[in-house]
Structure 1
Amino acid sequence: MKDEEFSLPRSRAANERLHAMIPGGAHTYAKGDDQYPEHLAPVISHGQGAHVWDVDGNRYIEYGSGLRSVSLGHAHPRVTEAVRREIDRGSNFVRPSIVEADAAERFLATVPTAEMVKFAKNGSDATTAAVRLARAVTGRQRVAICGDHPFFSVDDWFIGTTPMSAGIPESTNALTVSFPYGDLAATDDLLTRYRDEVACLILEPASHTEPPPGYLAGLRELADRHGCVLVFDEMITGFRWSEAGAQGLYGVTPDLSTFGKALGNGFAVSALAGRRALMERGGLRHSDERVFLLSTTHGAETHSLAAAMAVQTVYVEEGITARLHALGERLAAGVRDAAASMGVGDHVVVRGRASNLVFGTLDANGQPSQEYRTLFLRRLLAGGVLAPSFVVSSALDDADIDRTVDVVAEACAVYRKALDADDPAPWLAGRPVKPVFRRLV
């Protein structure tokens, strides 16, 4: 379908309904219609495998499914069957279900670097619990976050560091400091400057770049030397890097780690895991002051834990992590070739680990451009590719990848025209997409 013919009237009307009742029109800012070209933000009807359908009846090859949470594809049969079985047995009780023990055993077998685990429903609760526990066990108040990583929590200790800090006391913001990824000397300087004040270092162990040799082991040594807790946020790296996360792949064990996203294949489940000596402070079998670690009514919802167990089984038995890498490598190579063939290889760039690819859209000066991103997204959508990123799911097949590369080539041809004109505006048909974190609407 040609771009000028592509429109989403039913999705546009549905977005108006959403905005009338839900602040931002979505329950996650990253799903907001401001992240898509104007009037081209599809509202989803349903999904199956690597494809989704919008309310206008269009089918898309989908990437970044569920903000990286649906790594096996939508409605994966082994996961949905496990959920169905458990739903018929009840989902929440006044005492722990035996499913909680089964799920904990399965998780700790999958992530053997952890000694205890506690489940919750979202990543923010898990990371905030890690921060609270680190403050309790160290008696310190400051939190050191990796400033190169985009998101850790919806809670004040992190959101206060973003442009959307309205409503958060400055006294809270002052307790969070940042360190640069990959720079051990700068981190050592930070910990020395705030000697005996930093409760924890929290970071994604890997992101769009691989950790420099010795970096994670160096952080482990720094944390031990300065007496702070090392926390790995494995929301994204968990399962996509290896079944045991980045800590399993790189062989560095944090004190605490947090998992989510891929853990439930779209079902709401997250996990805080770590050393028994720390985790037990949130339990009943110690003589220290108690820590209110995690206490959530729905944290041990049985069908979500059943989904998590099924996901781990599928990953191990079907070699899912290796498949994600193979699919990502095929996609990255195809996109790079398509961009190069259209003369925009220096402007449409693919970055990241093969299982977690993102793309950059650069202007004529090589600078990131929201305008060129808008142009690119418009052409992808018109070609039936829904791709805020190029993060793959294992439900994709070679035909999906090949079709995606063909659509990317078509988009890159238009991209080249915009670069030659030194003006992408004629191809935007509306306002450009916007960054999630910004001070004003």
Structure 2
Amino acid sequence: MTLQARPLRLSTADAGFEAAFQARLHWSADTDAQVEQAVTDILAAVRARGDEAVLEYTRRFDRLDAASMESLQLAPAQLKAAFEQLPAAQRLALETAAERVRSYHEAQMQASGQSWSYRDAEGTLLGQKVTPLDRVGIYVPGGKAAYPSSVLMNAIPAQVAGVAEIVMVVPTPGGEKNPLVLAAAHVAGVHRVFTIGGAQAVGALAYGTDAVPRVDKITGPGNAYVASAKRRVFGLVGIDMIAGPSEILVLADGSTPADWVAMDLFSQAEHDELAQSILLCPDGAFLERVQQEIDRLLPQMPRAEIITRSLNGRGALILTRDMAEACAISNRIAPEHLEIASQEPHRWEPLLRHAGAIFLGGYTSESLGDYCAGPNHVLPTSSTARFSSPLGVYDFQKRSSLIEVSEAGAQTLGRIASTLAHGEGLQAHARAAEMRLKP
């Protein structure tokens, strides 16, 4: 059977555009009740029985008949061996990507990751102390595909931030270990690796077991079970975000080759059938050329069925009145990945307020950001770019306020605090300030 990918064609000039546009954007983040119940049971078992429960679920879900947790922890020498056994081209690519990711996050650290303080006119010191988290857990998917890039993007900013211990969990169904993932852990400086996955791995990281240390924060993508587990343990530990399906939005003025744009739409559609790929363009003829390239290129893609389902179910080619209107619609969508496929990307970038990552110009494919450009590829999805940011060193740090009040400062601040505390009916607060006042 010949596959046909037909993204929905819309025009902002049509009377029914708004309703059709909203329907195409809609995606329910509600997880199936069975997933929720299964995750509840798994987390309860891990909390109550620790390693025993983790081993039980690993046998059931990953088909690994491990006798002990020790057999599921990988030694640093195994990670190093995996790296050394890679083909030279893969070793170079991994090291180069890691260095670019590290350089970007070191620059981020210098810009925003330092403690600071100052003294006011009365000698009172005020400031902020920035300290890294003690221990973090990173979840790396390992079922349908392997993601060494996720190792780099989660572990390197944690390392740059100064986290003392990075614990990685990765499922290895049937015992099959991906050498590129293990090599990435070696290159990124991961301290401990356990070959466990699913909700049980999240539970082990959140609660701690005899073998798996309890962490302060869990980052990294996963399936519905992993997302549900992260949602449930939030508060006991920190999490990065609850990620939805992958998204790409391309703003095109018609100057970028149509086959490049079609392939960029494919780059997200191939993730899964719920991924969303949208093209906004004021040139109707260009939209038609992109559709022709979709038809031509689709049969060449190994994941053509997934791409077809994604584009037919959630994709759209939208004709806009002009590029300014395209930018306004993009702000409403707040996409995970936003490409400006234009000869004048810096003309339109100031109009764009909401996006996880912005890719400027025709040569900047989203896939470069996924692997090796340097900025983090862990990005907000499902319109959460309206209020959240990419993963960064700041996610692996915490900030403590610094206050050192001088004797002179206590006279000024004490009277202010006393007045406000009495107004709130908190007399002990007021007395504590008043005791430091000079007669």
* Shorter-chain TM band: under 0.3
Task: Give the TM-score of the pair, scaled to structure 2.
Answer: 0.26
* TM superposition score normalised by structure 1: 0.26
Q: Look at both structures and tell me which one has the larger radius of gyration over its CA atoms.
A: 2
**Greater helix share, structure number:** 2
